[in-house]
A and B are shown apart, each in its own frame.
Chain A
Amino acid sequence: MTEPEVEGLPGPRWIALSFVVYVVLGYLYKSIFLNWIIGPTWLLLTLHVIPRGVRSLLGRVGSR
């Protein structure tokens, strides 16, 4: 089956980058990053929520 286009889904390079950052931060700050809350939501936070927040912020600054 051909994979559908999906709104808001980043490419594999971004996912790989997010993984490397997670491993590095997890190694340095284990109790903060290697837990059941941050761990499973890391992808969503770093590749969707934070970029959306930054874009929204930049949009507001740009419109002033």
Chain B
Amino acid sequence: MSWAAHEFENYVIQRETGRKVSFLAIVLGAQLPDLFTKYFVYKSSNPAHFHRGWPGVGFSHSLIFGFTFAVLILRFTGSRSWALGVLIGQWAHVLTDFADTAGTMPFFPFSTEPVTISMWKHAASQGRYGDAAAYYSSLGGMWDLFWLVILLVFARKVLRPSYFRHTIVPADPKVWGWLHRKLRLPEGGLILFYWGYLFYGAGRMVTWFLYARFGAKAPWNPVWGGPSWVAGNDLSDAGPLEVIVRTSIGGVLFFAFIWLCWRWFLKGWWERGEDPPAVARGRGWRAAFGADDDPLPGALPGPAADPVP
């Protein structure tokens, strides 16, 4: 599993989506796979299989899980930016987690074959603290650092107050407006909340790394497939060709299923859906990506403007 990468990548994705997708929805989507399962994973007798396999809760790390949530959100709220945000956030989580040895089943239920590049060991069998010590002794910790660097080098503009004012709030004016009114948070308080996931990711990355070094005194072993002191836990003994064939078939069936859903009912729900006034949504890929974060007409920076509705 990945740890702080799931927080950092949200901001990097946000840079690419601009006003077309709600940031809070991306965050929710990125947390969904672990939100209801992580507690039980550590209690399980076979954590890796329970977390990522089938039978187990491995379906939470499949693309169809995010798709289902996104469809329900679109149907019951009509919000395109929330439906897309949850979808993109959850899919990013699935794609990030196939770097560990347990992998993910991206095309469940059409393929239950785990896909993995085995970059570091899934170490939930060590308990929560042992898992943290193993992760921050392996390339997993480097993976977190990689995403933090990507964020700070290529996507740092998303952390600016002006970006929050001109892009984050207009992408989701209802929820930010609700937080502003109900919790009586000024713009500065909202920005602190917006920065919160970056802060949390950086905070727990540093803290668990220090714990691994000085608390658990775990040997630092940032090699492919490490750390060596955790037993291997691959969920499948299939060879690479077998994995490619099964996953390819699963992928074709999965995208055919999505296409059928689109033709059958999803297109209608999408067309009846709503966008915030500031969103200029294109077609195809540009429905979600292609940041358009120029300042809104009339939304001038300065204390006199009230950017939060």
Q: Which residues of A contact B (CB under 8 A)?
A: 1-10, 15, 18-19, 22-23, 26-27, 30, 34, 36, 39-44, 47-49
Contacts and interface: CB of A to CB of B under 8 A. Distances in A.
A22 B199 contact: yes
Interface in B162-215: 162, 165, 185-189, 191-193, 195-197, 199-200, 202-204, 206-208, 210-211, 215
Contacts, number: 101
A26 B192 contact: no
A15 B188 CA distance: 12
8 contacts: A1-B162, A3-B301, A4-B165, A6-B187, A19-B199, A22-B199, A34-B207, A44-B189
Interface of B: 31, 35, 129, 160-162, 165, 185-189, 191-193, 195-197, 199-200, 202-204, 206-208, 210-211, 215, 295, 301-303, 305
Contacts of A47: 192
Nearest to B157: A1
A42 B162 CA distance: 22
A4 B188 contact: no
A23 B206 contact: yes
A27 B203 contact: no
Contacts of A6: 161, 187-188, 191, 303
Contacts of B196: 39-44
Most chain B CB neighbours (cut-off 10 Å) among A4, A48, A49: A4
